[in-house]
Amino acid sequence: MLDFHYVEYGNKQAAPTLLLFHGFTSTSQTWMPFLESWSTAHHVIAIDMPGHGKTSITSDGTMERFTDAVAAFLDNHGINEMKLIGYSMGGRAALSFACRYPERVSGLLLESASPGLNTEEERRARQQHDERLAQRLETEGLEEFVSFWENIPLFETQKSLPNSIQKQIRQERLSQQASGLAASLRTMGTGKQISNWDKLSLLDRPVVLVAGALDHKFVGINQEMEKRLPNASLHIVTAAGHSVHVEQPRIFDKIVKRYLLHDEADIMEES
């Protein structure tokens, strides 16, 4: 069983639990600006995903084994049901957990997430792509990889952020281990994940989808997800790319708070 490193805020005896999954090359620290605020009404746990931060990873890991490890983690903490927020890779993981353990999730917020790839051909091509990235990490090292990763088109909009925020993001990425990130790509990358597209119609839990308007690929993915989910709402945040919680933190915070309070009225006025 995975031994998750995590940060915890709030009193689990007094409030329902909110569990947070971060994205690739990040850690639980990405949620730090929000934790004190969110924990006034919820018991909040932010974990380091496998191969990231202080959570180890094994070479035989899969998304399914990750979800089972999360269920065991919740059992160990006496948590029967919780709400779940996931960003990017963490969003894929959060959706996978909700599909596998729907009875344990009372609500779900997915930021810039997807259910995986539809076809075996797409998955094989993505596995080959992720293997090249993993080998790049192993041969060229972490610092070179981070310099490459922060310049991919997906994160182009982050170049408009204040220098202090860009530096903080870079330092978080540089805090990783190359071996951990490589193993994450090989075991929990999009190409390795079983598609959850056909499970969306069966997921009757409330699902809030969040995407940045400048992230056209994920806007399209989330529009299709909204059509298939029985109880979903999509919020497209202007002036934001893939990392809405970093690029528009005030708006993201408002969406999360209203989601937690089951009151989404007028969210779009804020975005």
Task: Catalogue the long-range contacts made by 122-128 (C-beta closer than 8 Å, 24 or more residues apart).
Answer: 122/191, 123/190, 123/191, 123/192, 123/193, 123/195, 124/191, 125/191, 126/189, 126/190, 126/191, 127/189, 127/191, 127/192, 128/191
* pLDDT score recorded for residue 263: 43
Six token digits for residue 153? 């088109």
* pLDDT score recorded for residue 213: 98
Q: Would you say 261 and 206 are in contact if contact means Cβ atoms under 8 Å apart? A: no
Q: Is 233 helix (H, G, I), strand (E, B) or coil?
A: strand
CATH architecture of 6-116+192-270: 3-Layer(aba) Sandwich (3.40)
Q: Would you say 19 and 84 are in contact if contact means Cβ atoms under 8 Å apart? A: yes
* Domain spans of the chain, in order of start: 6-116+192-270
* pLDDT score recorded for residue 265: 41
Can you list the residues of the chain whose pLDDT is less than 70?
1, 260-271
Task: Catalogue the long-range contacts made by 117-123 (C-beta closer than 8 Å, 24 or more residues apart).
Answer: 117/190, 117/191, 117/193, 117/195, 118/195, 118/197, 122/191, 123/190, 123/191, 123/192, 123/193, 123/195
